[in-house]
Structure 1
Amino acid sequence: MSVDTLIVNLTRFGDLLQCQPLIHDLHGSGHTVGLVCLDNFAAALPLLRHLDAAWPLPGAGLMADLDKCWQKAAARLLDFARSIREQAAPRRVVNLTPTLPGRLLTRLLAPSPDAVLGFGMDAHGFGFSGGIWAAFLNGATLQRLNAPFNLADMFRMVGAPAPGSRAGAGTCALQRPAGASLAFADTLLARPLRLPASPGVRIAGFVGLQLGASESRRQWPTSSFAALGDRLWQEQALCPVLLGATAESPLARAYAARAQGPFVDAVGKTDIPQLAALLSRLRLLVTNDTGTMHLAAGLGLPCLAFFLATAQPWDTGPYLPGCCCLEPALPCHPCPYNSACPHGQRCLERISPQSAGDLALGYLTQGNWQAGLTPAICREVRVWVTETDAHCFARVRSLSGHEQEDRSLWLGQQRLFWRQILDSLESAQARPGETSEPLNARMPVASDALPYSAAFRETVAPVLSQAAQLLDLLAEQGRLTGKSARAGQLFLRNCERLQSLLDACPPLSSLGHFWRVLCMERGGRLDELLTLVTRLSGHVRRWAAAVAA
């Protein structure tokens, strides 16, 4: 069937589920929505609400064809794209996959480059960002100090058809699993291992334990899961249910070797609908940062989630309000990407089974996470609860007193300023030539000085001030470009100076990436670039004043 908007998401299972708020927004604006995803996640498609059509990409088959005959693989891909164009005939394509294959496929599917939102490729093979939010998205997660928005909200902003469609909060609510999957789940739950044969033993409910993660350094220790599972059984007669893919079977065996109480082993025994059915029968999911966590959130199941190593809840936490996210309270967390841990991965042992158990049992018995908080937990763990802010964006709020750390203050302030910057520049792009900022594009900014440490303030505030000065200089030199050869040379030199300045300051790396994208994609449209430079200068100057205050 034909669709107005075609979404391309060739990333992980969890990222696919985080498209649901965008699909919800598009549907609410009267759009028909199609989706292209990897075929190994096709079983999740019936769970997505308001999805009108879908085309699973046979990624593994194409890779196998490449090994045999690249011409055959290319012909198969072209046939796949042609069939989608004929069936979907989309007016716009929203590509959420920044990789080269994602951009190439989008190029084949879109009626024109102008019809692409997100990550595209022009007729000459150069990548571009379709929309201001897309220019921000790719660089926002390069450094852990620069990811202030939940990924689902960034997807919403990249793909929303018009600012008015962003007025309400997107929802992650998925379709409930079908009857056959529920029957399978009930059969599995009826056969727990090691359940005492005593007639007085009764299971009061089930709690899921997602043992694995995308990397071993992001996995809470199996021994800790086992201690937590035993405590849930001993104190509340709650039976643990082990969840995970077949590749995680060694973790299930390690759990079984350490645990004393009963449990249900569902690792490697479910497909996606059956996993959804199991989750719908649970009272709580205890999990690492995984696709299972996002599936649970979409089904309305509260989560107690661990964010270790590079993971942090600000950008990849569950979109469902009322979930609890735990980080080790260590100055080195979260660690940077592509870097070996110099501390022997001590964050894995920082969150104790005692602390996780206190929080889980407090929630399960009294209905709130604060019930399980203790001073010891607050020293050991950063405890966050997910919620929705006044602007209908997901956020996390500290329960453990860690909101005054430099990182927390900085991420919170970035949420305000990046909304100002991106919404303002987006309106400037829609109305080129206007340098004044419409009032309705402005977001409120906290007027009170934030208690940054002196070291952080001295690192960031001067760089922002210098960046604002360079932007002012660029605006002046840009107006003279074409009238003076020297002005053009100085303009290019100062563009490079600004890039080097921002790249050298890790807390501002996302601003540096954003500036690079603006220059690369709008270098041939100087009037448009100068309009954006003028607005960006004012925002950066206000940001510098707020950090220095």
Structure 2
Amino acid sequence: MSTDVLLLNLTRFGDLLQCQPLVQDLHDSGHKVGLVCLDNFAAALPLLRHVQTAWPLPGAKLMAALDRDWRTAVAQLLGLTRRIRREDAPRHVVNLTPTLPARLLSKLLAPTPDAVLGFGLDSEGFGVNRGIWSSFLSGATLHRLNAPFNLVDMFRMVGAPLYAPDIAGRPGRFRLQSPPDAARAHAEALLARPENLPPGTQPKGFVALQLGASAARRQWPVAHFAALGERLWREAGLCPVLLGAPSERALAQEYAAHNARSRTPLVSAVGRTDIPQLAALLRHMRLLVTNDTGTMHLAAGLGLPCLAFFLATAQPWDTGPYLPGCCCLEPAMDCHPCSFRQVCPREHACLTQISPASAGDLVLARLNAGNWQAGLSPELSRQARVWLTETDARGFAAVRSLSGHDAQDRSLWLGQQRLFWRHILDDLGDNANDQSAARANGSLEQRQDEKMRQPLNAPPPCSPDFCGQVAPVLAQAARLLDMLAEQGRLTGKSARAGQLFLLNCERLQTLLNACPPLASLACFWRELQQQRGDRMDELLCFVRLLAGHLEQWAAHMAASSRKPPQAGTRLA
């Protein structure tokens, strides 16, 4: 069956599941959707809805062929791409993976270069991000203080140019297929024989514990999981079910060693399930307690609430479960979340910051009272930032603080970015899809002025000290953009104007690079000028719009700073 939209997602298991709402939106807009994914996650394909055709990519085999003879590997890849183009004949390719191999594959699969949305290559083989949201996504996820949107919504917005008008503004729908009968039978067989179950007793239910994570520094301690599992059995009669891949069997053995004294009943499914069988197990659970993992996203797609730990580099704003009503815990530490490239100077103290007693209070409150709030305590608020997942007024996934940490600068800054980036990206995205508006300078400026005069329902600003550092940078950036707009009009008429335009482009980049809270804006500006430098009318349209938004943002922050912003102030 041919498709007209082909998705490329060559990343992890959880990321593959998180493109389901994008598939749903495309389907609801009348598209037939195909999918290219890595073959080691092909077992998840039966769980995805509305995927007409699927093409597992043998990544490991291609790499092995490259080691033997690169010509053989290239021939295999080209043979696969020709087959996909012949059988699917996609009119559009949406590439969600920014790696160079994925960009190359998108170019091979698309009928024309302009048919690629997301991450592609230009005619000379350089990376290009097609679409305003792709330009934002490429930089935001690298800077954890500047990633205010859930990855699912960023995926959805990359594909939004293909939606029907009424689809893009509604909440995403993340609903996976029920696992097949054979997988359900396997799950029931595993649950039928808990270890250490006292004679004559039966569990009152099951709670799943996902012990592992993508890295050891993102794992809540196994000893804490064991203490939590023992309490859930003792106080609620709930049997812990251990989840994990075959590579995580050592974690299950460690759990069993901690469990040896209490001999709490348990079911160890670690290394004993494939992806559909794991989904079938989750369908029997009352709750999932997990690190930030693919299992968490699988549970979200099945409608199972979870308590999730976000440690080290992980944070719930961008990688939290796409399901309202889940509880996310971050260590209440100034250094969290840490940089991907940072070596921890505190010996990973965040791993033990949240106690099993506090986690147990939350789980039991959710199971007994139906809400997490009943498990809050002053001690928990000292240990953790507690977030509840929900959906905001504009249909995007959001998190709301239950522990009073929404007044911290980090939380307020992420909240501000959610508002202003939506205004910026929606505005620039509308104009990118309307080239006539990009050339009608007079009507465009009038419409922009009207927008900027409208009051913003902005979140509270950050602390005066924070605002006093960031607001001047935003104000100076807005002034530089105004200068670029004027100089850009003269670039074809004056060599001097062209030189000044390039110089001020670089000045703006240097200004934004020096301000860590504006790292996403720095990346975004680099994308705009590099990828639209040969389309001056379009670039100048974006420059004028961005200047207006930054001026409004600076004014909002300056109102809370201790003194008016001074041009030229920068963060150290």
* TM-score tier after normalising by the smaller chain length: over 0.9
Match of 2:181 in 1: 179
Match of 1:527 in 2: 537
- 1:490 is the counterpart of 2:500: yes
Encode CA deviations 1:460-482: one digit per residue, 9 max, x unaligned. Answer: 11110110011011111111112
Classify the secondary structure of the residue corresponding to 1:166: coil
Classify the secondary structure of the residue corresponding to 2:553: helix
- 1:216 is the counterpart of 2:216: yes
Give 1:170's aligned amino acid.
Answer: G
Q: Post-superposition shift, 1:446? A: 4.5
Over 3 Å counting, the alpha-carbon distance change for 1:37 and 1:243 in structure 2 is same
- 1:412 is the counterpart of 2:418: no
Aligned match of 1:283 in 286, 293, 299?
Answer: 286
Aligned match of 1:312 in 286, 311, 315?
Answer: 315
- 1:539 is the counterpart of 2:541: no
In 2, the alpha carbon distance for the partners of 1:140 and 1:10 equals 19
Match of 1:325 in 2: 328
Over 3 Å counting, the alpha-carbon distance change for 1:238 and 1:394 in structure 2 is same
Instruction: Indicate conservation of the 8 Å contact 1:214/1:290, yes or no.
Output: yes
Aligned match of 1:164 in 137, 148, 166?
Answer: 166
Over 3 Å counting, the alpha-carbon distance change for 1:398 and 1:36 in structure 2 is same
In 2, the alpha carbon distance for the partners of 1:457 and 1:250 equals 48
Pairing of 1:218-257 with structure 2 (within 5 A): 218-257=218-257
TM-score (normalised: structure 1)? 0.97
Classify the secondary structure of the residue corresponding to 1:165: coil
Encode CA deviations 1:240-277: one digit per residue, 9 max, x unaligned. Answer: 00000011111111100002211111101100000000
Encode CA deviations 1:313-358: one digit per residue, 9 max, x unaligned. Answer: 0000000111000001111111112001112211111110011000
Pairing of 1:365-444 with structure 2 (within 5 A): 365-431=368-434, 432-434=438-440, 435-436=444-445, 437=447
Give 1:305's aligned amino acid.
Answer: A
In 1, the alpha carbon distance for the partners of 2:168 and 2:507 equals 36
Percent identical across equivalent pairs?
Answer: 66
Pairing of 1:95-134 with structure 2 (within 5 A): 95-134=95-134
Name whichever of 257-266 and 146-155 sits farther off.
Answer: 257-266
Instruction: Indicate conservation of the 8 Å contact 2:183/2:276, yes or no.
Output: yes
Q: Post-superposition shift, 1:129? A: 1.1
Match of 1:45 in 2: 45
Match of 1:517 in 2: 527
Pairing of 1:25-64 with structure 2 (within 5 A): 25-64=25-64
Aligned match of 1:450 in 455, 460, 463?
Answer: 460
- 1:192 is the counterpart of 2:198: no
Instruction: Indicate conservation of the 8 Å contact 2:331/2:383, yes or no.
Output: yes
Q: Post-superposition shift, 1:454? A: 2.6
Match of 2:367 in 1: 364
- 1:274 is the counterpart of 2:289: no
Over 3 Å counting, the alpha-carbon distance change for 1:445 and 1:90 in structure 2 is farther
Q: Post-superposition shift, 1:278? A: 0.5
Q: Post-superposition shift, 1:192? A: 1.2
Classify the secondary structure of the residue corresponding to 1:22: helix
Instruction: Indicate conservation of the 8 Å contact 2:212/2:219, yes or no.
Output: yes
RMSD: 1.5
Instruction: Indicate conservation of the 8 Å contact 2:287/2:306, yes or no.
Output: yes
Instruction: Indicate conservation of the 8 Å contact 1:217/1:309, yes or no.
Output: yes
Over 3 Å counting, the alpha-carbon distance change for 1:401 and 1:444 in structure 2 is farther
In 1, the alpha carbon distance for the partners of 2:42 and 2:416 equals 39
Instruction: Indicate conservation of the 8 Å contact 2:452/2:552, yes or no.
Output: no
- 1:347 is the counterpart of 2:353: no
In 2, the alpha carbon distance for the partners of 1:210 and 1:447 equals 40
Over 3 Å counting, the alpha-carbon distance change for 1:375 and 1:369 in structure 2 is same
In 1, the alpha carbon distance for the partners of 2:360 and 2:461 equals 33
In 1, the alpha carbon distance for the partners of 2:544 and 2:99 equals 31
Encode CA deviations 1:433-482: one digit per residue, 9 max, x unaligned. Answer: 24334799899874567252232112211110110011011111111112
- 1:507 is the counterpart of 2:517: yes
Paired positions, count: 547
In 2, the alpha carbon distance for the partners of 1:440 and 1:214 equals 48
Give 2:468's aligned amino acid.
Answer: E
In 1, the alpha carbon distance for the partners of 2:459 and 2:51 equals 45
Classify the secondary structure of the residue corresponding to 1:450: coil
In 1, the alpha carbon distance for the partners of 2:423 and 2:37 equals 32
Pairing of 1:82-93 with structure 2 (within 5 A): 82-93=82-93
In 1, the alpha carbon distance for the partners of 2:554 and 2:425 equals 17
In 2, the alpha carbon distance for the partners of 1:165 and 1:70 equals 44
Instruction: Indicate conservation of the 8 Å contact 2:103/2:121, yes or no.
Output: yes
- 1:465 is the counterpart of 2:475: yes
In 1, the alpha carbon distance for the partners of 2:421 and 2:453 equals 9
Instruction: Indicate conservation of the 8 Å contact 1:420/1:441, yes or no.
Output: no
Give 1:176's aligned amino acid.
Answer: S
Over 3 Å counting, the alpha-carbon distance change for 1:182 and 1:113 in structure 2 is same
Pairing of 1:72-91 with structure 2 (within 5 A): 72-91=72-91
